Amino acid sequence: MKIPIGISACLFGQNTRYDGGHRLESLLVEALARSVTLVPLCPEAECGLGIPREPMRLEGDPENPRLVTVTTRRDLTAPMQAWAARRMNALVAEGIAGLVLKARSPSCGKRVAVHGKGEGKTASSPGFFAGLVMERLPTLPIADEEELRDPARLADFLARLPGRAAPSR
């Protein structure tokens, strides 16, 4: 049985983005699916924010940013934290061995701009869900699609998974 790996649902081709679209990475999905079982997840849709939904961004202290909608200024920090805690428990129970996350997303990105009160970007931080996962599961291999377009980095990511899921041809 192939080991399970979580993947941002929009990279898997599901229409979960704020605008109702996806960001299918077909070559990457195809390459990964030879070695692992992909488990799509979408923090923003699964925590009940709906599709489509208002765009959001990280704001405030880069060490402890808040997740806030851009126009109506809804603070989604608490609901996302509560959902992420439950989802991480489920991921651990499912034996998830790694995560492939959407780059630059305020929820999934590994490194995302953090905004001050105005338009200025003050620093960067992991996306909200990505940051919580890194904190709770610090040894879990995590990569984004931009990194994994590089075949050497993809091979390295697969080699870091428990059981060393070598890419098959």
Q: State the residues that interact with ligand SF4 by CB under 6 A.
A: 8-10, 16-17, 42-45, 102, 105, 107-108
Closer of 102 and 110 to ligand SF4 (Cβ): 102
Least Å distance, CB 30 to ligand SF4, is 19
Closer of 36 and 99 to ligand SF4 (Cβ): 99
Phi, psi of 117 (to 5 degrees): -70, -35
Residues in the chain: 169
Least Å distance, CB 169 to ligand SF4, is 29
Number of neighbouring beta carbons within 10 Å of residue 37: 15
60: tokens are: 């405030």
Closer of 105 and 125 to ligand SF4 (Cβ): 105
Q: Can you tell me the distance from the alpha carbon of 12 to that of 30, in angstroms, rounded to the nearest whole number?
A: 10
Least Å distance, CB 20 to ligand SF4, is 10
Least Å distance, CB 65 to ligand SF4, is 15
Helix 128-136 vs helix 77-94: crossing angle, to nearest 10: 50
Per DSSP, helices labelled H in the chain are: 26-33, 43-44, 77-94, 128-136, 145-148, 151-160
Vertex 124 angle, CA 141 and 52, to 5°: 80
Least Å distance, CB 126 to ligand SF4, is 12
Closer of 134 and 155 to ligand SF4 (Cβ): 134
Closer of 35 and 105 to ligand SF4 (Cβ): 105
